[in-house]
Structure 1
């Protein structure tokens, strides 16, 4: 009886830990996406701006900076945010499947689908399968 209770407890702990990781990753994706949208808005405002300098906030500090250099910084930040979000989303898919395995449920159909590469699309179009 004691052994069964320990097994159940270990199972519940591992399932809860994995579920908590999934929720944390989802929260982080939402936060990074908000930041990505704020950067996108800032980039749009900089393209509309006719000024040579702009104000940037770095933490709690305001800095007067060149518009072109600011645009480059924001674009680099956008690229890094895209990479971070994609990493989290890929890891999230694996964690969800692992959790479903723990719960003895079938994997979500279509969760691990990957878009076709340009070479694959080109090959299919040459074969006449797709227009």
Structure 2
């Protein structure tokens, strides 16, 4: 009898750990996605709404870590567009956007496996559609060719 109680307890621990892992990954995806969108908005804001005259005279506030700084717009835009660290270490760069996209993609791909593992532990069927991948460009060309487009 004690052995079966231990097995049940171990089973519940495994299910809880799997579920907690899924929830933490989902939260991480949400945080990274918010950060990616905020970075995208900041980059877009600096790239638009400026004339040549404003671009040379306007100073903008930026937040670097816990500190706000007012810097000339050309320096900010230049450091955002360059893919290297400059005198000011601005947090939103294009390379960071690519890195965030990669991290989100990896977490989402790993999430599929974790959900399937949890379903296996709970003796449920595999979630339909979780392993679907988009067609590549070559596959799309073949489809268009087969359809005569």
- Of residues 14-23 and 58-67 in structure 1, the stretch that sits farther from structure 2 once superposed is 58-67
For residue 124 of structure 1, what is the aligned residue in structure 2?
143
- Of residues 1-10 and 62-71 in structure 1, the stretch that sits farther from structure 2 once superposed is 62-71
CA contact (8 A) 1:25 1:88 kept: yes
For residue 89 of structure 1, what is the aligned residue in structure 2?
108
* Distance in 2 separating the partners of 1:11 and 1:125: 49
| Consecutive unaligned residues in structure 1, runs of 5 or more | none
| Consecutive unaligned residues in structure 2, runs of 5 or more | 83-91
- Of residues 116-125 and 14-23 in structure 1, the stretch that sits farther from structure 2 once superposed is 116-125
Displacement of 1:70: 1.9
Displacement of 1:110: 0.8
* Distance in 2 separating the partners of 1:86 and 1:115: 13
For residue 68 of structure 1, what is the aligned residue in structure 2?
78
CA contact (8 A) 1:19 1:99 kept: yes
* Distance in 2 separating the partners of 1:114 and 1:37: 24
For residue 21 of structure 1, what is the aligned residue in structure 2?
21
Displacement of 1:31: 0.7
For residue 35 of structure 1, what is the aligned residue in structure 2?
35
* Distance in 1 separating the partners of 2:143 and 2:101: 29
- Of residues 87-96 and 45-54 in structure 1, the stretch that sits farther from structure 2 once superposed is 45-54
For residue 99 of structure 1, what is the aligned residue in structure 2?
118
What root-mean-square deviation, in Å, do the aligned CA atoms of Structure 1 and Structure 2 show? 1.8
CA contact (8 A) 1:100 1:106 kept: yes
Larger radius of gyration: 2
Task: Count residues in correspondence.
Answer: 130
Q: Which one of the candidate residues 71, 77, 96 is aligned to 2:96?
A: 77
